[in-house]
Structure 1
Amino acid sequence: MICVETQHFNLNRFLLLAIGLWPYQRSKFSQLQATLCFGILTSFVVFQLTALITTKCTVDFIIKVFSTALVFNFYVIIYSMFWINTHHVRNLLEQLHCICNNLKDENELAIFKKYENNIRRCTVIFTSFAICCVFIFTLLPIWPQILGTILYINESQLQSHTIQIVTEYFVDQEKYYYLILLHTDAVFCIGATTLTAIGTMLLGCAIHACGIFKLASYRMEQIMTTEMIKNINLKNRAMIYNKKIFYAVEIHCKVIKFINALVSNFEGSFLLLIMFGVICLSLNIFAIFRNASLGNKEAFVLHFLYVLVIFLYMLAANYAGQEILNYSAHIYFIAYNVRWYNAPLHVQKMILLILQRGSKTFSLNIAGLFAISLECFAMLTKASMSYFTVIYTMQQ
């Protein structure tokens, strides 16, 4: 028996356990851990927004605050989205578990194994990228201090150069500088782990959906094999036809049900993420140009990493949606190209049902507004650049 939860999502399990969101074995400690992580993420957003209370609000200052606050709010939305829907995630994993354990054919198991390896490869790549980003984020505040040991810059000058994120803790920020820095680094680590763990978990579900679509295509191809046509026993041939067409339709229905459950459980959160993603991209692209003109290298690198992370997150999500769209369309072409005319009449009618179902485009539709695909990614990127152009023009 194959355990999807531990074999296919082993690294994802480790990352989710680190932030208290693994959907199995929900102990009191994991609930306390999740509450603590969520509190740290939320408090950092609050301490950024409180700066609007104590500081004179200009358009430039508001953009500076929201360009970072919305990025960390991005973490909060993703974390709370997964935390609230933990039981739904467990149900999705159980569906995959049932589908996987019903596979008996060696070729089908090999197909499933291939997509399992793809999940692990993607998780390792995104985890490595997250580690690099956290390393850079952590290094940025102490980099001037490293240079200060060589250039003999005093501590007050160093601290004035290292604070790139506007916050208001209602305390002396120079006196409690290292505590504030510790809070900031903790948020970066938890946020990066959240993005990586949840993002790769959902991406893994999408890759599994593509693998199940591939299994449905494989079973469709096996309906009209050469051995089937050469079988002279008409009664046995009809029985095998019925059995194979049933297996193909069954797994196709299961993957449709799985994807619909995935989208419906996270639909509201996905919509919020799309909205915040477009706004974050616009504001941080503006911040990149702003800090480049002012010569603020540390802030430039910080906002560049924000844009890079959000851009890659949106690209990965929309690319996964495009792959699901392509794999679902492939079943239609397979059903159309098999030698259905050699099958009995009742089997031809069943294949016709699959053709009618496949003629309708199947996609990950979010609230009837966005169909997750590369076209959607291009549209969102274009919208972000348009908003950036408006902001940049207004500030000139």
Structure 2
Amino acid sequence: MINLETQHFNINRILLLIIGIWPYQRSPLIELQLILFLGTLISFIVFQLTTFITSECTVELIYKVLSSALFFICLAIKYNSFWINADILRSALKQLEDIFNEIKDKNEIAIIKQYGKRAKHITIGILLVSMCCQLIFVLLYICPYVYYIMILNNSRSHSSSYITTEYFIDEEKYSYLITVHRHVACLIGLLAMVATGTMLITYLQHTCAMLKIACYRIKLAFDILRNTNLKNERRSCKDIIRAVNIHSNAIKLSNFLITNFEGSFFFLIAAGITCLSCNLLRIASFTDDIGQLILSLTFIIILYIYMFLSNYTAQEITDHNEYVFATVYNVHWYIAPIRIQKMILFLLQKGTKSFHLILGGIFVASMQSAASLLNTSISYFTVFYSTQHN
């Protein structure tokens, strides 16, 4: 029996528990934790947007505020999507666990463990990258204080303007509290992006394992047919049926999860593309503010990594699905008994239609689409840049 929660999703479970959105064990205390964390993140976004109330609204100010506010909006969208889809996640994990608990073949279990281990490595890698990004964010705000105290021998507080905010209070007097709020919001947001993103990647890696098992069962079915007799033919038919079932379940589970996150992905794509364009514009308008340059580069790197990994994982689903039908085509199906040939021809007909994950109801997730998103962000940046200089 396979326990997904402890064997394959243990790191994801810890990350989601930290920010209060693990779909199980939703006690009142966890709900309070979630509200506080999400409230901190949303309040930081609000205090960035309130800048438009107290400052003169110029094109430069708009790009400056949106370049950071939209990034945190992306983080909030990811956080909120898992909160409102807790029932969907529970159902998806239950279905996946039920399918895996029916698997008894040691080679098939080894395939599941292989993809589970791969998902863990991806999760750890993304977590390390996010920790580096959080460290960069902290250093950007610490360095000015160190400069004033160590270099200029001046202990006065220094409020950095890398992220423009308006708290409607004396920001010089409460600079330390404002700094803490900024760092906590950033930490919560990055944890939310890592926890939710790696959870989806781990889930889809396990659907890839199911498709790999389908290939294994098809090959096993034809290995059995080498000794042609009625008993082997029945066993071969049974393996092909099992291959068809697990293939159908993999496709169904992938669509089930992605479809229920359709609205969240739509807003995430829109906010992410605009955020990339604004930060590219800030880099192109660079004068001598190294801190702002580093911050914009960090935002861009995080969004591009997220974009690449999400599309790469979806591309893997497509490739594994195509490999199932390539396996069907390459086996010696034409020398099999007529009954098995009919089953194989049915599979080949299904393989004529490619399978893709659709994000936001409009976007086909693939590596080609990732390149298209990159081109789109650059195109918007070009338009914004030309508008600013005209």
TM range (shorter): over 0.9
In the alignment, does 2:162 pair up with 1:169? Answer: no
- Aligned partner of 1:262 among 253, 257, 260: 257
Deviations 1:121-167 (A, max 9, x none): 001100111111111111211112122233125345x514x231111
CA distance in 1, matches of 2:152, 2:325: 70
CA distance in 2, matches of 1:358, 1:299: 50
* Partner in structure 2 of residue 42 of structure 1: 42
Deviations 1:162-220 (A, max 9, x none): 23111111111101111100100100110110011000000111111111111111111
- SS of the aligned residue for 1:224 comes to helix
Pairing 1:21-170 to 2, within 5 Å after superposition: 21-152=21-152, 154-156=154-156, 159-160=158-159, 162-170=160-168
Deviations 1:219-250 (A, max 9, x none): 1111111x42224x3x2123112211111111
* Partner in structure 1 of residue 297 of structure 2: 304
* Partner in structure 1 of residue 235 of structure 2: 240
C-alpha distance 367-48 of structure 1, shift in aligned 2 (>3 A): closer
Q: Which amino acid aligns with 1:30?
A: I
Deviations 1:84-130 (A, max 9, x none): 00111111111221122111111111111110110110011001111
CA distance in 2, matches of 1:222, 1:98: 23
Pairing 1:313-352 to 2, within 5 Å after superposition: 313-352=306-345
- Aligned partner of 1:192 among 186, 190, 193: 190
Give the structure-2-normalised TM-score: 0.97
Q: Which amino acid aligns with 1:313?
A: Y
Q: Return the offset for 1:392.
A: 1.4
CA contact (8 A) 1:48 1:167 kept: yes
C-alpha distance 272-163 of structure 1, shift in aligned 2 (>3 A): same
* Partner in structure 2 of residue 15 of structure 1: 15
- SS of the aligned residue for 2:241 comes to helix
Q: Which amino acid aligns with 1:267?
A: E
CA contact (8 A) 2:264 2:360 kept: no
Pairing 1:289-300 to 2, within 5 Å after superposition: 289-290=284-285, 292=286, 294-300=287-293
* Partner in structure 2 of residue 282 of structure 1: 277
Give the structure-1-normalised TM-score: 0.96
Deviations 1:339-396 (A, max 9, x none): 1122221221111111111110100023552110011001000010011111112222
CA contact (8 A) 1:122 1:200 kept: yes
Deviations 1:272-291 (A, max 9, x none): 1111111111001111222x
- SS of the aligned residue for 1:230 comes to coil
* Unmatched 5+ stretches in structure 2: none
CA distance in 1, matches of 2:262, 2:348: 28
* Partner in structure 1 of residue 210 of structure 2: 212
Q: Which amino acid aligns with 1:388?
A: F
CA distance in 1, matches of 2:161, 2:184: 16
- SS of the aligned residue for 1:166 comes to coil
Q: Which amino acid aligns with 1:188?
A: C
- SS of the aligned residue for 1:169 comes to coil
C-alpha distance 367-170 of structure 1, shift in aligned 2 (>3 A): closer
Identity %: 43
Indicate the RMSD between aligned Cα atoms, in angstroms. Answer: 1.3
CA distance in 2, matches of 1:366, 1:38: 24
CA distance in 2, matches of 1:368, 1:96: 24
CA distance in 1, matches of 2:358, 2:194: 23
CA contact (8 A) 1:229 1:342 kept: no
CA distance in 1, matches of 2:227, 2:65: 72
CA distance in 2, matches of 1:148, 1:176: 18
* Partner in structure 2 of residue 374 of structure 1: 367
C-alpha distance 99-277 of structure 1, shift in aligned 2 (>3 A): same
Q: Return the offset for 1:73.
A: 0.6
CA contact (8 A) 2:265 2:360 kept: no
- SS of the aligned residue for 1:21 comes to coil
* Partner in structure 2 of residue 230 of structure 1: 227
Q: Which amino acid aligns with 1:178?
A: Y
CA distance in 1, matches of 2:195, 2:79: 10
Q: Which amino acid aligns with 2:90?
A: R
CA contact (8 A) 1:141 1:163 kept: no
CA distance in 1, matches of 2:118, 2:338: 40
Q: Which amino acid aligns with 1:56?
A: E
CA contact (8 A) 1:19 1:193 kept: yes
| Structure 1 stretches of 4+ moved >4 Å | none
CA contact (8 A) 2:222 2:331 kept: yes
In the alignment, does 2:355 pair up with 1:362? Answer: yes
* Unmatched 5+ stretches in structure 1: none
